[in-house]
Amino acid sequence: MDPLALGAALSTAAAVFAIGLAVAVGSGSSVQIRARLEGALSGQGPAEVSEVDPLRKLHLTAGMLEFIVSGKWLIRISESLRKADSQLKPVDFLTLRVALAGLGFAIPYLFAGGIMGVLVAIAAAIAGYQAPQIWINRRAEARSKKLEEQLPDTLTMLANSLKAGFGLLQSLSLAIEQLEHPISTELAQTVHETNIGSSIDKAFLDLSERCESYDLDLVVTAILVQRASGGNLAEILATVAETMRERVRIRNEIVTLTAQQKMTGIVIGLMPVGVAGLFLLVSPDYITPLWTEPVGKMALGAAVILESVGIMVIQRILDIDI
């Protein structure tokens, strides 16, 4: 049997198994929750609900998977999912990545075949495995950006409440009622930690660690310094809010001024690809030596390396930190 065909078959089987397992575990959890609710509404205890018993095998399988992927990776991916506001569990996330990688490898190879099919299948498998992580990263970045945009108004609200005579925790509680997610969720977590016995300093340090935002780090540092050395916290927060608004204004100006240069870099970067595609349509015999002759392969490899270096240099120049 062809080893590559066997690998494609195994990839398909693994993908189908992973998807089936994710659906089974997810549906099992839904049935268990529904059973508990029905038992509570009917006056039965959780132990009296018979629908829960058939789900033990599903939870055992999920527990085995959690044991396999436990450790630092599990903690890291759990934190990434939380920052992205995703309802997926780490095991479900890993299952999704494996399933997409298996399908990405199997489909191109089964339809294309040959060396080109293998290369496309490998590339598709890598892309399928990385796609969920890219999606999670984008959602986390969007959430962090929205949180930073909410900070100036939040600080102004807190400063006004402090000037009106409220305490810090009371001001936070008032702000939570008027703010939207994600800043309201993070502040509510901070207030909850103080209510269950954590110190205010520790709660704010945990807030800074959860969000990993430079602007929020400034706010937390200002609050902790004020609590240690004294001062007017309302004026401090108002000053920090004004500084953040000025940083946002400068950042927007920089984005506007560098938009033309970014577009120029994109056009220059895509120009060789466009020219190669045009020659491939107009005169294929003229450009095919690039990947058929040894000298052409060397020239093509050098061009790809230089193109990549040029793109990274342009991005580095336009990445201005404020």
Q: What is the pLDDT of residues 75-108, one digit of tens each?
A: 888 888 989 988 888 888 988 999 999 888 888 7
Mark whether 156 and 217 lie in a shared domain. yes
Between 171-185, 261-275, 308-322, the lowest mean confidence (pLDDT) is in 308-322
Check residue 189 and report its DSSP letter.
H
Mark whether 113 and 151 lie in a shared domain. no
279's torsion region: left (phi>0), alpha (psi -120 to 50) or beta?
alpha
Mark whether 297 and 240 lie in a shared domain. no
∠ CA 83-246-225, rounded to 5°? 65
Confidence band (pLDDT; 50, 70, 90) for 118?
A: confident
Tens of pLDDT, residues 102-115: 888 888 777 766 67
Mark whether 134 and 18 lie in a shared domain. yes
* Residue count of the chain: 322
Q: Stretch 37-43: mean pLDDT, rounded?
A: 48
State yes or no: pLDDT of 216 exceeds 50. yes
CATH number for 241: 1.20.81.30
Mark whether 121 and 28 lie in a shared domain. yes
The larger pLDDT score, comparing residue 66 to residue 223, is at: 223
Q: Stretch 209-221: mean pLDDT, rounded?
A: 90
State yes or no: pLDDT of 155 exceeds 80. yes
Q: Is the dihedral of CA 58, 60, 65, 66 positive or negative?
A: positive
Residues 95 and 278: their CA atoms lie apart, in Å, by 41
Mark whether 70 and 22 lie in a shared domain. yes
Averaged pLDDT of the chain: 79
Q: What pLDDT was estimated at residue 40?
A: 45
Mark whether 286 and 222 lie in a shared domain. no
Mark whether 192 and 295 lie in a shared domain. no
Name the pTM for this structure. 0.68
Q: Please state the domain count of the chain.
A: 3
